[in-house]
Amino acid sequence: MQTNLNPTNGQKSFYNKAKIERVNNVTRLQSYSTIVATYNHDTNEMKISGYYSQTTAKHINAFLSYFGFDTCNKKQLENY
């Protein structure tokens, strides 16, 4: 089951453009129609698929923050 991800930067919502879904021990972030990040609950490992756009970067940073990771700038997301 997918759930909407809530912003952490004071923005009201992501208007259903950022969704999270947990499958077994992995939670995936879908920004628009693309899986852009995954979090493995067993290993505490976060994987980011790179930088896509400023809006998707906001989605990724909210996902990072949700799981207690530091947020990233564009260059850091490109090299994550």
User: pTM of the entire structure?
Assistant: 0.95
Q: pLDDT-based confidence at 4, cuts 50/70/90?
A: very high
47, 37 contact by CB (below 8 A): yes
Answer yes or no: is pLDDT of 9 > 90.
no
Model confidence over 13-51: pLDDT tens digits?
999 999 999 999 999 999 999 999 999 999 999 999 999
Q: What is the pLDDT of residue 1?
A: 85
On the 0-12 / 13-18 / 19+ scale of CB atoms within 10 A, 63 is buried
